[in-house]
Structure 1
Amino acid sequence: MSFDDEPGHVGGAPGRGDDRFSTLGGTRQTRTRMPETTGDVYGGARRPQRTSRSLVMVVGVVVLLVAAIAFANRGGDGSATTPDTAKPGAAEPTAATGTKPVGGKQGGIASGFAHDEQGAQSAASNYAVALGSTGMFKKDSRHRIVDSTYTSEAAEGLKGPQDGAYSTDFLKKLGLDAEGNPPQGNTFVSRTIPVGTKVVSYSTDSAKVAVWYTGLIGMSGPGSTDPVRTTWKTWTFDLKWSSNDWKIATDTQVDGPAPVPGDVAASSADVISKAVEEYGGFTYAR
C-alpha cells in the first residue's frame, strides 16, 4: 500500500485518522511503519537491492568497449575485410581505402597498381614523387624514371624536350653542375609530398587524377644562394591502362592551393641536410 492509498487521499473518505500527524482511533497511539525484514523479529538485515539492472548496464558497457577496440584495430593485420574500392573515399574524400600498397617496383618506382580508381590514385601519387625527385636532374636517372612512369609513346616524345629543358644553364641556376651534381659539402633537395588525390574522371582504360602536393626544392649548404623552400601545387595526370599497369599519357601542373605560411622558424642548412639524409620517402597508397 502506498501513502496515497490510505483514507483521505486520492478520493478516500476523510476520517479521524486522516491527519497524518494525529493519533489513530482515539487511542493516542501512533502508527509506525516498520522496515521489511526477512523474518528476524529482532531486526535482521534488510533485503539487498536488486542488481540485475546494474549488471546489465555493466555488461553493455563492456561489450561496447570491446566492439570499439576491435573497430579501432581493424585493418591492423591482413585478416580485415578489404573495403569496397569502387568509389574509394566517396563519403569522406580524405579517408584511406585500407588497401595495402603495391609490392612491385620498376626502376625503383612502385608498380603493379590495381585496375580501379584506387589503383589510379596510388599510381598518380607515386609517379608525382618520382617525377619530383632529384633523379630528374641527371640524364640517366631521368630517362629511367620517365620510362617507368609514362606510356612508351609518351616517354619517347618527352626525353628529347626534357633533356633540353634540363640544360646546363638551368642546372647552374639551381647550383648544380652540368651532370646535375651539387657542390662539395652541399645537399640538393627536391621532394614531392602528396597531400591528397582526386579522381576527375574514370573509365576502364583511362583515368584523370589530380594530386595536391607540397614540395621541397633548393640547395642546402654553405654559400647557397638558393635555400630550400616549400611549394604548393596540383599535378594532374591523364593515365592509361597499359601493359597491365597505369601509365601517364599527359600531365599538367598549376600552383596551389597554398595555405598561409606557418610561424615556425627556418632551420639551418646543416639541419636540413641531415634531415634529408636521415628521413626516407614512402610508397603511397590511396
Structure 2
Amino acid sequence: MTPDDDRNDGLFFGGSGETRTRLPEGEGGGDDVYGSPRRSGRSGRTSSRSLVTVVGVVVLLIAAIAFANRGGDDSSSDSGDGKKPDAAPTAPSGERPVGGKRGGIPAGFAHDEQGAQSAASNYAVSLVSADILKPDRRTEIVRQLFVADKVSELEGKFNNTYSKEFLGKIGLDEKGNPAPGQTYVSRTAPVGTKTTAYSDSAATVEVWCTGAFGTAGQDTTNPVSNDWFTLTLKLRWSGGDWKVESFQSKDGPAPVNGDNKISTADEIAKAVQEYGGFTYAR
C-alpha cells in the first residue's frame, strides 16, 4: 500500500486536509490559547486522594527498581540451557539499535525482527517531523527512508501534499518556516512497537506514537497540542538496511487527557530548542 491509498492520508491529512498539527476546532473566546486553562473544580478531599495515589505509585516504583537491582545471583533460578527467557512485549532487548546515522537519521539497523522494529520507530519520528515540511530536508528524508524504486514517485506525492497553499494554511511559508517570533513544533515519540509480519526480506511493524504538534506563538491559530496515533510501516530489506515500502496511519489508542497545567508559548518554544531527540530501539 502506498500513499495513493486514501487510508494512508490520515498521517498527512487527518481526514480533512490537515497534518497532525490540527487547527482549533472552534472559535475561541479571545483568551490566549497558552494562558491558564479552564480547570475542573476539585475538592480538597479529591486532591488528597490524588496525592496519596501519586505517593503510592512512587513507592511501588522504588520498590520495583530495588528488586530489579538485586541482580541475578540466585543460581537456583538458572535453567542450565543458556537460553534467555522470552521478553515481555514492552521489554527492551538490550541489543545495540543501530550502527550509525546518515543525514541525522539513524541507519544501519540489524537484519532481524528487533532491527525492523527499531527502524520503524526511528522512521516514524522522521515521517512526522517538522523537517518533513521543509522541501530541501524532505528530499533527504524520502531518499533515505524509502526503497529506491519508490523514491521518485513519493517525492512527487510528498511535494504535492505539502504545497505552498497547504503550508500557508498551517502558518508556514513555502520553505516550511513559521512567521517571525513563532516556533513550529512536530515532535513524535514512539510508545511501543509490534511486528505483525516478518521474513528475512520484509516486515510489517506497527508503531504506537504520541507527540506535540502545532505552532508556539502569541498570535497562532494552530496552538501546540498532544496527539496519539498508530503508524503502520511495511519495510523491505534493501541495500543492507531496512527501508520503507509503504505506510499508513490511524488515530489512537489515546488515553484520557491528564489534568495538566498548560504551558506558555515561550515555554514550549524553549523546550523544543533545548531538548534533543532520541535514537529509538526495540
What TM-score, normalized by structure 2, do the two folds share? 0.70
Deviation string, structure 1 residues 19-75 (Cα, Å, up to 9, x no partner): xxxxxxxxxxxxxxxxxxxxxxxxxxxxxxxxxxxxxxxxxxxxxx99953449xxx
**SS of equivalent residue, structure 2 residue 279:** coil
Alignment of 1:255 with 2:251, yes or no, is yes
Q: Secondary structure at the match of 2:70?
A: helix
The residue aligned with 1:281 is 277
- Root-mean-square deviation (CA), in Å? 2.2
Match of 2:114 in 1: 118
Once residues 199 and 86 of structure 2 are traced to their aligned partners in structure 1, the CA distance between those partners, rounded to angstroms, is 16
Identity percentage of aligned residues = 52
Determine which of 125, 128, 150 is the counterpart of 2:124: 128
Opposite residue 165 of structure 1, the aligned amino acid is T
Q: CA deviation at 1:270?
A: 0.6
CA–CA separation in structure 1 for the residues paired with 2:145 and 2:158? 14
Q: CA deviation at 1:100?
A: 2.1
The equivalent of 1:229 in structure 2 is 225
- 1:184-207, CA deviations, whole angstroms, 9 ceiling, x for partnerless residues? 111000111100000001011000
Decide whether aligned partners of structure 1 residues 67 and 117 sit closer, same or farther in structure 2, where only a CA change above 3 A counts.
closer
Partner in structure 1 of residue 70 of structure 2: 69
State the AA in 1 paired with 2:120.
Answer: A
Q: Give the number of the structure whose alpha-carbon radius of gyration is greater.
A: 1
TM-score with structure 1 length normalisation? 0.69
Aligned position for 2:63? none
Q: CA deviation at 1:91?
A: 4.4
Assess if the C-alpha contact under 8 Å between 2:87 and 2:93 holds in 1.
no
User: Equivalent residue for 1:165?
Assistant: 161
Q: Does 1:205 align with 2:201?
A: yes
The answer to whether the 8 A contact 2:210-2:226 is kept is yes
1:108 shift after superposition: 1.3
Gaps of 5+ in 1: 1-64, 73-81
Q: Report the AA paired with residue 70 of structure 2.
A: I
CA distance in 2, matches of 1:97, 1:209: 16
Preserved contact between residue 188 and residue 209 of structure 2 (Cα < 8 Å): yes
CA distance in 2, matches of 1:184, 1:93: 45
Mapped contact 2:97–2:115 kept (Cα < 8 A): no
CA distance in 2, matches of 1:83, 1:112: 27
Counterpart of 2:183 in structure 1 is 187
Partner residue, 2:216: 220
Change (3 A) 1:191 1:83: farther
Indicate conservation of the 8 Å contact 1:83/1:97, yes or no.
no
C-alpha distance after superposition, 1:68-120 (max 9, x if no partner): 53449xxxxxxxxx986xxxx95411100011232311221101100000000
The one-character-per-residue Cα deviations of 1:201-237 (angstroms, maximum 9, x if unpaired) are 1011000000000021100012111100111100001
1:245 is the counterpart of 2:241: yes
Bigger relative CO (Cα 8 Å, ≥ 6 apart): 2
